[in-house]
């Protein structure tokens, strides 16, 4: 049976879906969410107090400073907080939960951000694990497992940062990670194409198991294979978000206005937003949920149960279990060492790249000097 048809059956009575958004500060996560649900669901973080947020040397905006002072005594809100919203797609009710996470990337507490996100994901698995082993089920139990994590990559146009690689690699064993480029309209189409290619090369090089719209050539029907391979080819999705409607030929269009024209959010020629939205809420909703339950949660459960067997000295452990356990620990240790080596490799590669660029720049300026000298010489002769 193909994946979408399984989805349709279940969808009749309404479905629940949880999406988490993760990424560096200011990559457009909040705007994306509000664009996705077509309402102002999430508030934006307190703005920069500068008159021009892009310019660190600009003056302070006094009205914003006063506003911040008024709220200064208030408690820090919980940092990861799910928000629920009801949507209807193609006549199907979707109870959508959005989990926005604090932006990171300032280099100060990236590890803390990672820990926070990762323990949130695992807590949801722990909750369901506890619920499953209860004799009497709690009728009000809520399954809050995250079915997709959209990882926002900043539109630098260079390459993935070490932090991006690290985060995606460490989170992907726990959740379907879908890489996206935030604020993709910051790049030209040519830059965007090259950036996408570069990102997918890095993802393949580091063996990061992102959600790549899996299909089975033997089992799935032609349409599914076609749809999935098209979506896979779009990875990482180029996102343009906007909470503003612009009138074009008398029609309101969601988009971003520029002196040279309008970038339309829902136009597939301008961004991958609508295709990502369709995949998340319609075509791949069931697949994301199934992979979360059958594979990611199942792996977590197995890991957790085998860990607790190893950790209890009183339980009678079979010798072969002990042997398995020690093999597992050795493998784990090896894996960690390999990971460290890969990190070092990455760092060295980047350093070599920087040095090469410096050398090239020096070579260029030498050539300019030489040319100038040659000119002077011919001038004198």
Ligand X SMILES: Nc1nc2c(ncn2[C@@H]2O[C@H](COP(=O)(O)OP(=O)(O)OP(=O)(O)O)[C@@H](O)[C@H]2O)c(=O)[nH]1
# residues contacting ligand X (CB under 6 A): 16
Shortest spacing between CB 64 and ligand X, in angstroms: 14
* DSSP at 173: T
- SS3 assignment, position 352: helix
What is the Cα–Cα distance from 231 to 36, expressed in whole angstroms?
Answer: 18
Point out the residue whose Cβ comes nearest to Mg ion: 30
Note whether 185 binds ligand X by CB under 6 A. yes
Q: Is 229 in the site for ligand X (CB under 6 A)?
A: no
Site for ligand X in 94-113 (CB under 6 A): 103
Given the rule CB under 6 A, which of 78-86, 182-190, 199-207, 368-376 is the region that contacts ligand X? 182-190
Q: How far apart are CA 342 and CA 306, in angstroms?
A: 28
Shortest distance, position 162 Cβ to Mg ion, whole Å: 23
How far is it, in rounded angstroms, from Cα 92 to Cα 8?
9
239-268: which residues touch ligand X (CB under 6 A)? 240-241, 256
- Binding footprint of Mg ion on the chain (CB under 5 A): 30, 45
Instruction: Please provide the distance, in angstroms rounded to a whole number, between the alpha carbons at the two ends of the chain.
Output: 84
Q: Of 145, 183, 180, 182, which is closest to residue 19 (Cα–Cα)?
A: 145
Strands, E, within 229-320: which ranges? 237-238, 245-248, 251-258, 261-264
Q: Which stretch binds ligand X (CB under 6 A): 5-13, 107-115, 179-187, 292-300?
A: 179-187
Residue 240, binding choice from ligand X, Mg ion, none, Cβ under 5 to 8 Å by partner class? ligand X
Query: Residue 279's Cα: distance from chain center in Å?
Result: 15
Q: Which of 3, 183, 277, 289 binds ligand X (CB under 6 A)?
A: 183
Kindly state the smallest distance separating residue 201's Cβ from Mg ion, in Å.
29
User: Contacting ligand X (CB under 6 A), which of 8, 45, 197, 330?
Assistant: 45
Choose the one of ligand X, Mg ion, none that binds residue 256, judging by a C-beta under 5 to 8 angstroms depending on kind.
ligand X
Sheet of 245-248: strands edge to edge?
245-248, 251-258, 261-264
Please give the Cα distance from 84 to 81 (Å, whole number). Answer: 10
Minimum CB distance to ligand X smaller for 41 or for 309: 41
Binding at 367: pick from ligand X, Mg ion, none (beta carbon under 5-8 Å per type): none
How far apart, in whole angstroms, are the C-alpha atoms of residue 202 and residue 349? 12
Nearer to Mg ion, 34 or 228 (CB): 34
Residue with smaller CB distance to ligand X, 53 or 209: 53
Taking the complex as a whole, how short is the minimal distance between the CB of residue 152 and ligand X, in angstroms? 7
If binding is defined by CB under 6 A, does position 36 make contact with ligand X?
no
Peptide bond before 236: cis, by omega within 30 degrees of 0? yes
Nearer to Mg ion, 45 or 79 (CB): 45
By beta-carbon proximity to ligand X, the closer residue of 55 and 294 is 55
What distance in Å separates the CA atoms of residue 210 and residue 176, rounded to the nearest whole number? 6
For Mg ion, the closer of residues 33 and 148 by Cβ is 33
Nearer to ligand X, 157 or 310 (CB): 157
Cα Dmax for the chain: 100
Q: Which two tokens stand for residue 160?
A: 């993935």
**Other beta carbons less than 10 A from residue 119's beta carbon:** 12
State residue 299 phi and psi, 5-degree precision.
-60, -45
C-beta closer to ligand X: residue 171 or 291: 171
Q: Is 104 helix (H, G, I), strand (E, B) or coil?
A: strand
Cα(83)–Cα(96) distance, integer angstroms: 8
Please choose which of Mg ion, ligand X, none residue 281 contacts, taking the beta carbon within 5 to 8 angstroms, the exact cut-off set by kind.
none
Question: Count of CB atoms within 10 A of residue 122's CB?
Answer: 15
* Nearest residue to ligand X, scored by beta-carbon proximity: 103
| Chain positions contacting ligand X, by CB under 6 A | 25-31, 44-45, 103, 183, 185-186, 240-241, 256
């Amino acid at each position: 049976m193909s994946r979408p048809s399984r989805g349709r059956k279940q969808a009749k009575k309404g479905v629940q879906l949880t999406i988490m958004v993760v990424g560096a500060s200011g990559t457009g996560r909040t705007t994306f969410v509000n664009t996705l649900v077509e309402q102002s669901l999430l508030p934006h973080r307190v703005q920069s107090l500068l008159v021009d947020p892009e310019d660190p040397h600009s003056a302070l905006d006094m009205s914003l400073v006063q506003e911040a002072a008024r709220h200064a005594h208030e408690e820090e809100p919980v940092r990861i907080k799910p928000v629920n919203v009801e949507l209807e797609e193609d006549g199907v009710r979707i109870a959508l939960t959005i989990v926005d996470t604090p932006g990171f990337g300032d280099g100060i507490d990236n590890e803390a951000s990672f820990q926070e996100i990762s323990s949130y994901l695992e807590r949801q698995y722990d909750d369901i694990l506890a619920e499953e082993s209860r004799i009497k089920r709690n009728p009000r139990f809520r399954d809050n497992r995250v079915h997709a994590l959209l990882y926002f990559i900043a539109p630098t146009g260079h390459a993935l940062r070490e932090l991006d690689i690290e985060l995606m690699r460490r989170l992907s064993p726990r959740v379907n990670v879908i890489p996206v480029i935030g604020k993709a309209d910051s790049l030209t189409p040519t830059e965007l194409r090259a950036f996408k290619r570069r990102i997918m090369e890095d993802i393949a090089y580091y063996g990061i198991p992102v959600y790549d719209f899996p299909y089975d050539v033997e089992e799935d029907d032609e349409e599914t294979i076609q749809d999935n391979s098209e979506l896979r080819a779009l990875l990482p999705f180029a996102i343009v978000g906007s909470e503003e409607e612009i009138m074009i030929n008398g029609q309101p269009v969601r988009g971003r206005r520029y002196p040279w024209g309008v970038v339309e959010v829902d136009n597939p020629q301008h961004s991958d937003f609508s295709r990502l939205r369709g995949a998340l809420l319609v075509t791949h909703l069931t697949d994301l949920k199934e992979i979360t339950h059958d594979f990611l949660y199942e792996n977590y459960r197995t890991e957790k149960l085998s860990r607790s067997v190893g950790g209890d000295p009183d339980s009678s452990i079979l010798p072969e279990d002990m042997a398995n356990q020690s093999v597992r620990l050795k493998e784990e240790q090896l894996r960690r060492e390999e990971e460290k080596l890969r990190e070092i490799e990455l760092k060295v590669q980047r350093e070599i790249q920087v040095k090469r660029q410096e050398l090239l720049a020096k070579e260029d300026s030498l050539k300019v000097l030489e040319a100038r000298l040659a000119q002077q010489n011919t001038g004198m002769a």
